[in-house]
Amino acid sequence: MFYPLILVLAADLVHRRRLMIRWAATHVALVLASFLAIIHFGKLPGSPGQWISAAQQRTDMRIDGTVFLVLECSLRDQLNFVRHLYTPKVVGSILLTLALSIPYGIVLWRLVRTACIYRRYSIAHARCLLVVFAAPLGLSLLGHDVMRWLSAICINVSLYLLLIYRSTPRVGSSDTPDLHKALTAWTSLPVYAATLLYMLALGPWGIAGNRLLSNIGSLLGR
């Protein structure tokens, strides 16, 4: 989930000529080859029943065997399995949560755009940056835990902005563009307080899929 952050930081190092592009390309090729090999050749040793029995002996809690069944499935079986998980209720909860997350997404997008401008990324580099950050959503094809992948995107973007902020030298001259001031300037705007209050209001109700729907239903039923 957090590998996109490594790719983005490697691309930034290549952009600043602190990492040779062939080393970055070699790293990506090795990781991609390992991933494809695991997907194609990987198989759970033993039967799911054996794993469930072994796991149950280690705890007095009920073991959900779904994860072991998934590990035994082929890629095609997994895709067919996930297709049945996307019920109208699940899809509705996902769309609702995505809609409620739009304000926070806009804030992150504006900050990333500011960082790209001050880093002097090309248009192609900036667009690839957004594609790489959004890559975890592709895991939705293998499982319906979409909010986990959405959270990974937000965490990756936040850590990227923090690292860019901390690794960029401060500017002493007022005539030189200052990335630190650009990234923190929005905190003085009214939208900062509005966004903060919005997230604080949604937080206690669990901004995550089905739990959000059930909490809102409980609230309206009082």
Please measure the distance between the N-terminal and C-terminal CA atoms of the chain and give it in whole angstroms: 38
Angstrom distance (rounded) from CA 86 to CA 94: 10
Is 201 domain-assigned?
yes
Q: How many domains does the chain fold into?
A: 1
Instruction: Tell me what pLDDT residue 218 has.
Output: 59
Write the pLDDT tens digit of every residue in 185-194.
Answer: 777 777 777 8
Q: Is the pLDDT of residue 98 over 70?
A: yes
Nearest to 157 by CA among 206, 98, 111: 111
Share of the chain above pLDDT 70, in %: 86
Is 206 domain-assigned?
yes
Is 172 domain-assigned?
yes
Instruction: Tell me what pLDDT residue 203 has.
Output: 63
Nearest to 136 by CA among 126, 146, 144, 128: 146
Average pLDDT over residues 63-88: 76
Is 37 domain-assigned?
no
Q: What is the mean pLDDT of the chain?
A: 79
Write the pLDDT tens digit of every residue in 153-180.
Answer: 888 998 999 888 888 877 766 655 678 8
Is 44 domain-assigned?
no
Instruction: Tell me what pLDDT residue 213 has.
Output: 54
pTM of the predicted model over 0.85: no
Is 34 domain-assigned?
no
Domain of 159 in residue numbering reads as 3-23+74-220
Please report which confidence band the pLDDT of residue 10 belongs to, taking 50, 70 and 90 as the band edges: very high
Is 125 domain-assigned?
yes
Find the angle CA(90)-CA(79)-CA(98) to the nearest 5 degrees: 30
Selection from 110-114, 140-144, 182-186 with the highest mean pLDDT: 110-114
What torsion, rounded to 10 degrees, do the Cα atoms 11, 15, 20, 21 define?
A: 60
Average pLDDT over residues 203-220: 54
Is 138 domain-assigned?
yes
10, 129, 170 from 18: Cα distances, Å: 9, 18, 19
